[in-house]
Amino acid sequence: MKRLLGFLLGTSFALGFGTLQAQEMKAGETTTPPPKVLVIQREFVKPGKQGSVHEKSESAFVQAFARAKWPTHYLAVQALSGKSRCLFLIGYDSFADWEKDNLAQEKNAALTAAIDRAALADGELLSDYDAGVFIYREDYSLRAPVDIAHMRYFDISTYTVRPGHRPEWDEAVKLVKAAYEKIPDAHWAMYQRVYGQGGTEFAIFTPMKSASEIDQSFEQDKQFMAAMGEDGMKRLRELESSAVEASQSNLFQFNPKMSYVDESWIKADPEFWKPKPAAPMSAPKKAAEKPAGAQ
């Protein structure tokens, strides 16, 4: 039950990066609507090259964009399950804006040179790389925006729909959405892959402030099943069996050192997104020498 169509049991979602500007909410909170176009770059890191080694390499990219005061931002998340990899999530309002950003980078000689140098060094740490492009499916989503700047994890689930079975998928999504509308705290957003690997693929993101929300989600499972009813759950299982060819879910942790985020995120939670450097350790004071015969 836990992973039935993945997003069935998800509790919250929002993506708020790229060119979208954050909207102010309560003091210290920010929210953004999900970007309409989402570019996901995946870096598969060699064993032993994770952690601080990769963070140091990625910091060169962050510094290059910061020096250029580049308007497009990105969020980096590291896998806590599955293969060792990092995802870099970049959002745009449209494909035209994506093209505009790429062309502007090409014309900026200083930025391009800095990125090329960083990429050459970073490539030594990687075993593989790929990229995919997704579009936001508002019709498949529910209450999408949340205070993303204070989130720390993503549960990311992907689903490949069998060719010719989109009607069953659509029906399943409608059933799930109708049931979750009865649960006030439930919200998610779904993306559909349009470029990248083959097949019709959907990605569902669930952001969490802490891992304790994974435990809490089991209670919402019960509410969902109650809202669906016995007949609804039976129909949903039939639709899943017919429509879904493959699926998987993995947990990712936000990494502020490898992210280039909007200033509004930093203001919302500076201790996480821009932590103060640790104070240097003072050298131990040398004990005063005592005269011979002193106790």
* Average confidence (pLDDT) per 10 residues, the chain, 295 residues: 36 38 46 89 96 95 97 97 97 98 97 97 97 95 85 92 96 92 82 88 90 83 92 96 95 97 94 70 46 42
pLDDT of residue 284: 47
> What residues contact 221, with CB distance under 8 A and at least 6 apart?
1, 2, 9
pLDDT of residue 277: 53
- 3-state secondary structure string, 203-218? EEEEEECCCHHHHHHH
Contact criterion met (CB below 8 Å) for 201 and 159:
yes
Per-residue CA distances from 110 to 67, 68, 113, 174 (Å): 10, 8, 5, 49
Q: Any idea how long the chain is? A: 295
pLDDT tens digits, 189-227: 899 999 987 679 999 888 889 999 888 777 778 889 999
pLDDT of residue 281: 46
CATH number for domain 7-269, candidates 3.30.1360.120, 3.30.70.100, 3.30.420.480, 3.60.21.10 = 3.30.70.100
User: pTM, whole model, 2 decimals?
Assistant: 0.84
- 3-state secondary structure string, the chain? CCCCCCHHHCCCCCCCCCCCCCEECCCCCEECCCCCEEEEEEEEECCCCCCHHHHHHHHHHHHHHHHCCCCCCEEEEEECCCCCEEEEEEEECCHHHHHHHHHHHHHCHHHHHHHHHHHHHHHCCEEEEEEEEEEEEEEEEECCCCCHHHCCEEEEEEEEECCCCHHHHHHHHHHHHHHHCCCCCCCEEEEEEEECCCCEEEEEEEEECCCHHHHHHHHHHHHHHHHHHHHHHHHHHHHHHHHEEEEEEEEEEECHHHCECCHHHHHHCHHHHCCCCCCCCCCCCCCCCCCCCCC
pLDDT of residue 32: 73
pLDDT of residue 144: 79
> What residues contact 99, with CB distance under 8 A and at least 6 apart?
none
The full set of domain ranges for the chain reads: 7-269
